[in-house]
Structure 1
Amino acid sequence: MAYQPAVAPPKKSKRTLFIVLGVVLALCCSGGALGAFLIYRVAMDATGPVRSTVNTFAGALVERDYPTAYQQLCTRIRDQVSEADFTQQQATEPDLTGHKIVGLSVSNQNGLVTGTATVRYTPAEGGATSRVYPLVKEEGNWRICE
């Protein structure tokens, strides 16, 4: 029997390992970024129309454009309070110089879609005051229903 030298196992390339790890890492990061973007889009689609209604309402109160603010109210409130009465009520409130939406939420419970918005107003005399507005969806449009 002739002596045969032992064959050394082939060297494992560290380069291949780094390439595989790099590809896996890139896929994980891409998936995480895509997931975050999709969650953001879903949240914006749900709250965007609510934000628009609240901005219109609050901006109209700051500008003392009471007919525009009145149109953002739900049917139930408009049936109870005339536009003239709403205007009279709002005219007695302190002057406002600005507003900022500081909270929004939308919920769907058994098909009843509702929301709430918290608005921080800046009165002309200084300081800040906050109001929470309940919202309902009527005929596809969000309305403030306090």
Structure 2
Amino acid sequence: MPTPPSDPGVPPPPPGPGVAPPFAAPPTEGSRKRLWLGLGVGALALLICCGGGGAAAVGLVVSNVQAIEEQGQAVTDDYYRALVAKEYGKAYDTLCEDARRRESRGEFTRRVAEEPAVASYRVGDVDPQTLTVPVDVTFSGGGQDTQQVTLAADQQSGGMEVCGVS
């Protein structure tokens, strides 16, 4: 093969096979193991975060229901304890705003004093769906009744209040 004319400004052509390139070639991954490992770790982290959020939401709902039940039983117990002790003002204080609008403190005291006196009671479980509590009441004359107490949430304090007894 003839040699090309040499020009002092033009570099000679590179030599044939086996020559090292002037730059390094990018690395090639033989398998996608590292890619799948990274994706797996990312998916696991996402699952832990979402699963933790879901568990927290379930825990919040459960604790809220338990709080409603505890507060409902406590306010119902306070109401009937005041009736047994004939402390009608304290019983009136457990009533919700709507019940207080329907009946003044004096009217409530007169009405409850004229009814058969409560000798003992047993507060049942709060129904969180309807916010009602069954109460087994024994009167001083010996009679018994199951009364249904309706509860409501106090908008100012966040606690429960008695809103009616039937």
Shorter-normalised TM range: 0.5 to 0.7
Given residue 144 of structure 1, which amino acid in structure 2 is its aligned partner? Answer: V
SS of aligned partner of 2:134:
strand
Residue of structure 2 equivalent to 1:94: 116
Over 2 Å off, 4+ runs: 40-46
**1:144 equivalenced with 2:162 (yes/no):** yes
Percent identity, aligned pairs only, is 24
**Is there any run of 5+ residues in structure 2 with no aligned partner, and where?**
1-61
Deviations 1:43-87 (A, max 9, x none): 533300111100000111111110111011110110121100000
Q: CA RMSD in A?
A: 2.2
CA distance in 2, matches of 1:134, 1:45: 16
**Is there any run of 5+ residues in structure 1 with no aligned partner, and where?**
1-39, 108-113
Given residue 104 of structure 1, which amino acid in structure 2 is its aligned partner? Answer: V
Higher helix proportion (structure 1 or 2): 1
The TM-score normalised by the length of structure 2 is: 0.56
SS of aligned partner of 1:105:
coil
Given residue 142 of structure 1, which amino acid in structure 2 is its aligned partner? Answer: M
Question: What is the correspondence of 1:62-141 to structure 2 with a 5 Å cutoff?
Answer: 62-107=84-129, 115-139=131-155, 140-141=158-159
Higher strand proportion (structure 1 or 2): 1
Larger Rg: 2
SS of aligned partner of 1:120:
strand
Q: How many residues align?
A: 103
Residue of structure 2 equivalent to 1:16: none
